[in-house]
Amino acid sequence: MADRTAWPSLGLKIAAILAGAGVLLWAGWITREVYTDTPRPIVSVRLAETIGGFVDEAARTNADPETVQAASLAYLQAAEAAVAEMGEDGRLVLVAEAVLGGPIEDATPELEARIAAKLAAEAQP
């Protein structure tokens, strides 16, 4: 009759070999992903200028303070959401007023268009 105590040690050896092979495959995959990672595009937005333009426009209206406050809150929320969305496709979005570096693509027109679209969508019932 065969010794039954040999089976658990053989099973452990096979499991260890399979686990080691799995770790090596995973390490190879991670290494490939790190070294073939494409650089993220970097863009900047002039956020202070964009918000400042809205504030200037709101100051010129003859609306009551509650209306201006509600519109300002909606604009700031739309601006925050638009900047977050711009970064979802892998781009790194920098606020131009905080960047001390060389020239990078200015995505402010895209930001302004996204904010306008969000505000228009919120205005429709």
Task: Kindly write down the DSSP assignment for every residue of 4-68, as one continuous string.
Answer: TTHHHHHHHHHHHHHHHHHHHHHHHHHHHHHHTPPPPPEEEE-HHHHHHHHHHHHHHS---HHHH
Range of the domain at 69: 42-123
Looking at the fold, whether 74 and 89 belong to one and the same domain comes out as yes
Looking at the fold, whether 28 and 56 belong to one and the same domain comes out as no
Question: Inter-axis angle of helices 47-60 and 108-123, to 10 degrees?
Answer: 50
d(CA 17, CA 122): 58
By C-alpha distance, which of 120, 16, 119 is closest to 73? 119
Looking at the fold, whether 47 and 33 belong to one and the same domain comes out as no
d(CA 59, CA 65): 10
pLDDT in tens, 20-57: 888 888 888 888 777 776 777 888 888 888 888 888 88
d(CA 125, CA 114): 19
pLDDT in tens, 73-123: 899 899 989 988 988 888 888 887 776 666 788 888 999 999 999 988 887
Looking at the chain, the whole-number percentage of residues with pLDDT higher than 70 is 89
Task: Name the domain count of the chain.
Answer: 2
pLDDT of residue 117: 92
pTM (predicted TM-score): 0.61
Looking at the fold, whether 68 and 19 belong to one and the same domain comes out as no
